[in-house]
């Protein structure tokens, strides 16, 4: 299954939002630009991200390009795009990249549904240093995108660096920070 048509429509809608933000960029303060970003851009970007966000790198790149345009609007930068590096701007403005959105949403889903609490198979007689959750084998990319494959993969990757027992608001902030600095 391809998400090219959905991403094309999403890029078109988000492009209109970026255009409106560009026209307003000199008229409104930064806090209002961020409010517009979260109301009109991020809300559309994150809607059903667990379903479509495992799309191709090319599709995610289109969305990240729009995010970089928004960052340039935040900074009131009107020069060549190659003259302004955006890695630090994502951190400064606390914006999740489109490529990290799936991971962010999946970690929040795991915490909300308490899927991190399921016990690890302890059939091994020996105490291992890192007991990882078994990840089901999949022959296709589609199989790798299913939640029963992705949840153990994410937990194995981030289990030691995430405290799932934090209150929700602090947990979200911690996960955002972790993904931004990764």
pLDDT digits 0-9 by tens, 11-65: 999 999 999 999 999 999 999 999 999 999 999 999 988 888 888 899 999 999 9
Query: Is 135 in contact with 150 (CB distance < 8 Å)?
Result: no
Out of 61-75, 114-128, 148-162, the most confident range is 61-75
Identify the pLDDT of residue 123: 56
Domain ranges of the chain: 4-79, 102-120+129-180
Instruction: Kindly report, residue by residue over 74-105, the tens digit of the pLDDT.
Output: 998 888 877 888 889 999 999 999 999 999 99
Q: Is the pLDDT of residue 125 over 70?
A: no
Structure tokens at 65: 């390009």
């Amino acid at each position: 299954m391809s998400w090219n048509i959905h991403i094309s429509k999403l890029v078109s809608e988000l492009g209109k939002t970026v255009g409106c933000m560009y026209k307003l960029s000199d008229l409104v303060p930064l806090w209002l630009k961020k409010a517009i970003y979260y109301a009109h851009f991020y809300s559309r970007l994150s809607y059903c991200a667990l379903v479509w966000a495992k799309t191709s790198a090319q599709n995610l790149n289109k969305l990240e390009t729009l995010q970089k345009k928004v960052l340039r609007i935040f900074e009131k930068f009107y020069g060549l795009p190659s003259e302004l590096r955006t890695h630090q701007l994502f951190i400064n403005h606390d914006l999740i990249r489109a490529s990290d959105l799936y991971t962010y949403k999946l970690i929040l889903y795991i915490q909300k549904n308490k899927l991190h609490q399921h016990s690890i198979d302890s059939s091994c007689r020996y105490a291992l240093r890192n007991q990882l959750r078994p990840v089901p084998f999949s022959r296709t990319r589609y199989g790798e995108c299913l939640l029963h494959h992705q949840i153990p993969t994410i937990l194995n990757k981030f289990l030691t660096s995430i405290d799932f027992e934090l209150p929700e608001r602090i947990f979200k902030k911690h996960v955002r920070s972790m993904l931004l600095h990764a």
